[in-house]
Amino acid sequence: MKLHVRYEGDDDPDKCTAKKLSRFDLATLHNSDRATPYGVVLNPHAEQALSPADTTVSDRLVALDCSWESAREAQFSVDGEHRALPFLVAANPVNYGKPFQLTTVEALAAGLCILGERPQAERILSKFRWGETFLEMNEEPLRRYADCEDSTEIVAVQQEYLDRE
């Protein structure tokens, strides 16, 4: 799966997971909506959850890299099929243990796992000290989400995790 990132550049470049992925040729960064190719766009404001059914939509997974403070719905204007990631917990040092507060690499890796591309998810996370921790912390939900057929099933599984919170 080809990974693309609409890069805002408003975070510390030394801590930016998207920049690091780009340095290793694991993702392509784009500085404008127009330059960002059509694909499955990971968007926390989307009305539909990402599911294995989305493998038929595109061979591109697109994320928006910006600070959580500036991640407003209006920023997600990239062309594509917008999908929200289900409940997962961050393993990155800044938001460790917080649900839904994923870095760009965590979001892309989660999307890859759900879409059946776990080896690629492991490869991109291997560039980060805490990458394996993300997979370990989310092992059960990622496996269960990947076993779902569609968005409706994803939401039902997610609800079980939300009910525990």
Give per-residue pLDDT as tens, 35-57.
999 999 999 889 999 999 999 99
Lowest-pLDDT choice from 2-16, 120-134, 140-154? 2-16
C-alpha–C-alpha distance, residues 84 and 35, integer Å: 22
pLDDT score of 67: 63
pLDDT score of 71: 57
pLDDT at 70 over 60: no
DSSP state letter for 84: B
pLDDT score of 112: 98
* Higher per-residue confidence, 108 vs 73: 108
Pairing of strands 2-7, 28-30: parallel
pLDDT score of 14: 75
Beta bridge partners of 64: 6
If pLDDT is split at 50, 70 and 90, which confidence band does 164 have?
A: confident
Closest among 66, 55, 1 to 28, alpha carbons compared: 1
- Cite the annotated binding site by residue number: 17, 64, 85, 104
Contacts of the segment 69-77: beta carbons below 8 A, 24+ positions apart:
70/8, 70/10, 71/44, 73/45, 75/8, 76/41, 76/43, 76/45, 76/46, 77/33
pTM beyond 0.85, yes or no: yes
- On whether the CB atoms of residues 128 and 20 are closer than 8 A, the answer is yes
Q: How many CB atoms lie within 10 A of CB 74?
A: 7
What percentage of the chain exceeds 70 in pLDDT? 92
- Cite the annotated binding site for S-adenosyl-L-methionine by residue number: 17, 64, 85, 104
pLDDT at 12 over 90: no
pLDDT at 86 over 90: yes
- Supply the mean pLDDT for the chain: 92
